[in-house]
Every structure is written in structure tokens, then in C-alpha cells.
Amino acid sequence: MSTAEPFTIEQFYKFLQQGKLMAGKCQKCGKIHLPPRPLCDNCYSQEFSWIQVSGKGKLVTYTVINVAPAQFQALAPYAVGIVELENGLKIPGMIQDIKQEQLKIGMELTLDFGTCSAPQQWPVWPRYCFKP
Amino acid sequence: MYSLQERNTWLNGKPLVSIISAGMSKFGKHDGLLTRELFAQAAAEAFSRCPKLQPKQDIKAMFIGHMGEAYEHQGHTGSTLADWAGLAGIPATRTEAACGSSGVALRSGIYAVLSGLADVVIVGGVEKMTHRTTAEVTEYLAMASDFPFEQFHGITFPGLFALMANAHMHAYGTTEEQIGMVAVKNHYHGSLNPKAQMQKEVSLQNVLASKYVAWPLKLYDCSLITDGASCVILTKPDLAKKYTDQPVHIVGTGQASDTIGLYERKTLTSLQSTKLAAKAAYEMANVTPDQINLAEVHDCFTFAEIMHYEDLGFCKVGEGGKLVERNETRLGGRIPVNTSGGLKSKGHPVGATGTAQAYEMYLQLTDQAEKRQVKDAQIGLTQNIGGSGATAAVHIYRRDQ
């Protein structure tokens, strides 16, 4: 895929806005970075390519936040979890469209692009979430 | 100069540095006091405990753990506290590693003494938090976690430890009752500590009935929002007796880091940083976990204490819950943990916590811990972590022979 875009977290979120979950693949050692990094923590290469990864995965662990920072108080209580994607990489996020008692470690979830967004001054990134 | 193996053989449990004095403000709610004024209380106690020390002449450097300037709109904490401790002029350095800030300050003080650049150093920490709302404190503490994927998606600090707790419960069958028992034990210990923020016992029933903050962690599973300061004074072991008849020796130190994002770690049921720091400290001290008589560990959330038992080798992996259930870590048990009350009951002014643990170890290993004294304690351990475990500092202490 494209190599023109910088391998930054900002760019990761720009791709999300376009409906794509993208990771950086090190061209030297092959390690996949999600989020992308400018320096491979395995071999120190600075050469990467973008690869699209599946947003499907399994819930590794979760919690329900009752006491939230000011910015998220309107959403509380809300569920968050860490999802292991099909390629083995893990990513955290909110889990929506599910009741707390239905949450289960190991359940299948899919990343939903940007629909959970809450606009703010900085950073202007889409807030992805996971749904059953 | 030395390979790791040579160095450890050379040290072989010999003192790295010696603690000649220690001080701590009462932990709690101190309306109207600023961090500099709280730290002056800790420094004053340390100076008065050691009359042979001439602070202005003898102390050659200061290392201060302080997490956040947001609380008080005051940064530049190293020089501020040197000034208010009557030590303006000496090099003063602030170390920041979130809740592990003063564990790292202690490690930095050891670097300074062992390097030979400073024979006597003061290391400490401070935080003033209670004048802020819970929402503000929640937000400031969260700054120590990964911003773009954790904070940005509404994951709080209790939330991060809840994610680990849930994974541990799922993997090993640890129960909410066992997690709650840590609170009951630490509140009992805190009831014996006149400097603790909460000096009253709680029942397991009340812990389990408290409201969820981040499932499965409840209000009584969370450490406290606290104002406080602490410090210890270190010197070279061969100079210790010049200042005091009763030094406490630090015989092992370890500090380690891990990924800032919890989600990037291979396991969610243990902290690699604790394991690495503990391994370094145990090897340097030439001590095994079964030789530890008492420990102060980082119970920012009750569940964390259970995980730390396992990472520090006090029990087998997965059996941390059973250890507290069998009362082995309660005063009178095989290895009392958090005799001070811990972060849960003594309080957790985040930057002050690491050296407050060292303060407790100083009292215990000089028989000054009064009602909570562990009899015949020879070797103690402290473990201080930052954030969700991207930093850990472990130290091992030995009574003077």
C-alpha cells in the first residue's frame, strides 16, 4: 500500500476517518506496529509500509467506568476493553451497543469507525469504538 | 569496570548506601498548606532525628519525586523544596515517574552516593491533592497513562487496574472477596499508624458493598487522595556510624520500565517492570524472596497488591488471592505487607509514596514502628510503581548488624 503518508499516530487516526484500520510494517524485520512507530523497537529500522488490518477481534479483558474524567462524564457508565485483533495485535477502546452483563472475555467484537466521535479542540481525531 | 556477575559477587549483599534518618508529614487532608510547607515538615523530622547531621554542611544533593504541577500550578519542584528545606545552594533534581516518582528519586540518590559525587544526599517526595475535585484528580492521574489510546478513549487509572484485575480473575479464579481482603488488612494496619490518613478498620462487608468505580474495583479498593511529604537521608555505609548508631542499609536496588500502553504488553496479569526490578534487587542483595521478613508494596488499588505478591515471588503465580485470604500478609503472618497501612489506608500523595515506603522500612528495621512493629525483622523490601506499571522501583533493606 501507500508509503507516502508519515508513520504517525495522527496519520493512523486520519486513516480511521477514511474507514481503514492501518498498521505500520517494518520493511527490515517485518514487525507490525499498531499504532505505527517512526523507529522499529525491534531492529531500529526507519523504513515502513502501511498495511490494512482486520477490525475483527476477541475481547481480552474489559471494565465498566463509573467514575469518569469531566470530559467523559456524560457517557458514564461506559464499557472499555482491550481487543486482540485477528493478526494478534491488541488495541483498547470503548465497547458500545451491549449491556454490561453481556460482556464476556473471549467474545467477538468488531471495530466501528468514528461513529463514537466526540469533537474537541485537540486532537481532532475520530473516536473509534468496538461493537458486537 | 565490572561485569554484572562480577559486580554482584563483589557486592554480595553488602550495603550500597545507608539510611541515617527519615521524616514524613502526617498523611491526610492539609487545607492551607502548600507542597513546600508539607515537605518542610518531613525534612524537619529527618533533621531532628539525626542531631549529628549538619544539614547545610553535610547534605550535598537532593532528589525529589513529584508527579504533577497541575495540582498546585507549581513546577520546578527540586529547587523549590531545597529552598524551603533550608538547603538552597545544593544541586536539587526532580524525578518524575508518576506514582513511582520518589522510588525513582531514591534510586537516583543511590546513584549519586555510589558515584562518589555526594557523600550525603536527601531524597524525598511530595504531593498536594485534596484541594482538587475527584474529577480533576482523576484527570491529572490519568496523564501518567498513554494519551492517544488510553486517555483519549476514556480509560482512567482505576480502569487500567480493573482491566488487569478482570484478566487475573479470569485466568486464576481470583475473587472480588480476596481483592477486598487487601483493603480490610491494610485498614487494620493503618489503624495502628498515627500518621495514616484513615486510622479505622473496615469490614469486608462494607468493602464489597461500596460503589463500583471501575468494575470489579469499588470505592474501597482504591487508594486515597492525599496530601503528604516524605524523605530519607542517605550516606556511604562507611560514614553511617558517624551520624547514627542505628542506620538501615540498602542492599539491593532495581528499577525497570515497560511499554506505556497497557495494551502493548504480552501479559495483563503481571508487571514485567516489577519482575525485572525485583530480579536486579534480589541478585544485588544476594537475597531470595523467602528471606524477606516484611514488605511495603504499591497498593494503588487492592488488586495490584495481589499481583505484586506474585511478581515479587512471595507466592506462586495465580495464588496471590489465597495469600491474603490465609492472612499470611497480615501483621503476625509469614510476611506482613504494608504494615504502614499502604497507599490504601496510610494514603497516596503520589510523589511522596516511594520514600514513604522507605520511611516505614526505616522505622521497622530500627524497632520504632510501635504498635505495628514486626518482631525480629531483619530484611525488608519496598516496591513502588508508576502509572499502570511502565515504571517499577524495588529496594531491599537490611537491619544494621
Q: Tell me the pLDDT of chain A averaged across its residues.
A: 91
Pick from A35, A70, A73: which is nearest to B149 by CB?
A35
Asked if B170 lies within 8 A of A61 by C-beta distance, the reply is yes
State residue A126's pLDDT score: 84
State residue B5's pLDDT score: 56
Cα–Cα distances in angstroms (integers) from residue B75 to residues B51, B61, B85, B126, in the given order: 32, 19, 17, 12
**Interface check B5 vs A, CB under 8 A:** no
Q: Tell me, what amino acid is at B139?
A: E
Pick from A61, A70, A93: which is nearest to B268 by CB?
A61
- The residue annotated as part of the active site, out of B168, B308, B348, B395, is B348
Return the residue in A82, A117, A122 with the most chain B beta carbons within 10 A, the one to mutate for interface testing. A82
Tell me which of 3.40.30.10, 3.40.50.720, 3.40.47.10, 3.40.50.300 is the CATH number of domain B4-132+223-399.
3.40.47.10
Whether the per-residue pLDDT at B308 is higher than 80: the answer is yes
Of all residues in chain A, the one with the smallest CA distance to B167 is A61
Tell me which chain A residues have a C-beta less than 8 angstroms from the C-beta of B210.
Answer: none
| Tens digits of residue pLDDT in B31-76 | 999 999 999 999 999 999 999 999 999 999 999 999 999 999 999 9
| Tens digits of residue pLDDT in B354-383 | 999 999 999 999 999 999 999 999 999 999
Q: DSSP assignment, residue A76?
A: -
Q: Tell me the pLDDT of chain B averaged across its residues.
A: 96
pLDDT band at B1 (very low <50, low <70, confident <90, very high): very low
Pick from A61, A67, A78: which is nearest to B138 by CB?
A67
State residue B285's pLDDT score: 95
Is residue A22 left, alpha or beta, with left meaning phi > 0 and alpha meaning psi from -120 to 50?
Answer: beta
Pick from B152, B156, B262: which is nearest to A67 by CB?
B156
Of all residues in chain B, the one with the smallest CA distance to A128 is B153
| Tens digits of residue pLDDT in B92-136 | 999 999 999 999 999 999 999 999 999 999 999 999 999 999 888
Give the 3-state secondary structure of residue B297. coil
Nearest chain A Cα distance for residue B222, angstroms: 12
Whether the per-residue pLDDT at B8 is higher than 70: the answer is no
Share of chain A above pLDDT 90, in %: 79
State residue A49's pLDDT score: 96
Of all residues in chain A, the one with the smallest CA distance to B268 is A61
User: Is residue B222 annotated as a catalytic residue, yes or no?
Assistant: no
| Tens digits of residue pLDDT in B69-85 | 999 999 999 999 999 99
Ranges A11-20, B324-333, B370-379: which has the least confidence: A11-20
**What was the ipTM of the complex prediction?**
0.95
State residue A124's pLDDT score: 79
Of all residues in chain B, the one with the smallest CA distance to A130 is B153
State residue A120's pLDDT score: 63
Cα(B320)–Cα(B311) distance, integer angstroms: 9
Asked if A61 lies within 8 A of B166 by C-beta distance, the reply is yes
State residue A71's pLDDT score: 84
Cα(B274)–Cα(B318) distance, integer angstroms: 16
Nearest to B348 by CA among B309, B301, B310: B301
pLDDT band at B139 (very low <50, low <70, confident <90, very high): confident
| Tens digits of residue pLDDT in B198-253 | 999 999 999 999 999 999 999 999 999 999 999 999 999 999 999 999 999 999 99
Cα–Cα distances in angstroms (integers) from residue B220 to residues B46, B177, B180, in the given order: 32, 12, 8
Return the residue in B163, B169, B222, B270 with the most chain A beta carbons within 10 A, the one to mutate for interface testing. B163
State residue B289's pLDDT score: 98
Number of CB pairs < 8 Å for A and B?
98
Tell me which chain B residues have a C-beta less than 8 angstroms from the C-beta of A42.
Answer: none
Mean pLDDT of the B389-401 span: 96
Cα(B121)–Cα(B233) distance, integer angstroms: 6
B-facing residues of A in 52-111 (CB < 8 A) are 60-73, 75, 78, 80-82, 90-94, 100, 105
Cα(B234)–Cα(B124) distance, integer angstroms: 11
Return the residue in B215, B266, B270 with the most chain A beta carbons within 10 A, the one to mutate for interface testing. B215
Of all residues in chain A, the one with the smallest CA distance to B143 is A69
Cα(A88)–Cα(A78) distance, integer angstroms: 25
| Tens digits of residue pLDDT in A102-132 | 999 999 999 998 665 555 667 778 889 999 9
Mean pLDDT of the A20-36 span: 96
Whether the per-residue pLDDT at B11 is higher than 70: the answer is no
State residue B148's pLDDT score: 95
Return the residue in B133, B143, B150, B155 with the most chain A beta carbons within 10 A, the one to mutate for interface testing. B155
**Interface check B266 vs A, CB under 8 A:** no
The CA angle B294-B299-B300, to the nearest 5 degrees, is: 155
Whether the per-residue pLDDT at A82 is higher than 90: the answer is yes
Asked if A69 lies within 8 A of B166 by C-beta distance, the reply is no
User: Is residue B348 annotated as a catalytic residue, yes or no?
Assistant: yes
Of all residues in chain B, the one with the smallest CA distance to A101 is B215
Nearest chain B Cα distance for residue A102, angstroms: 14
Tell me which chain A residues have a C-beta less than 8 angstroms from the C-beta of B262.
Answer: 82, 92
State residue A30's pLDDT score: 97
Strands (E), B226-378: 228-235, 248-257, 294-296
The CA angle B357-B362-B365, to the nearest 5 degrees, is: 120
Give the 3-state secondary structure of residue B33. coil
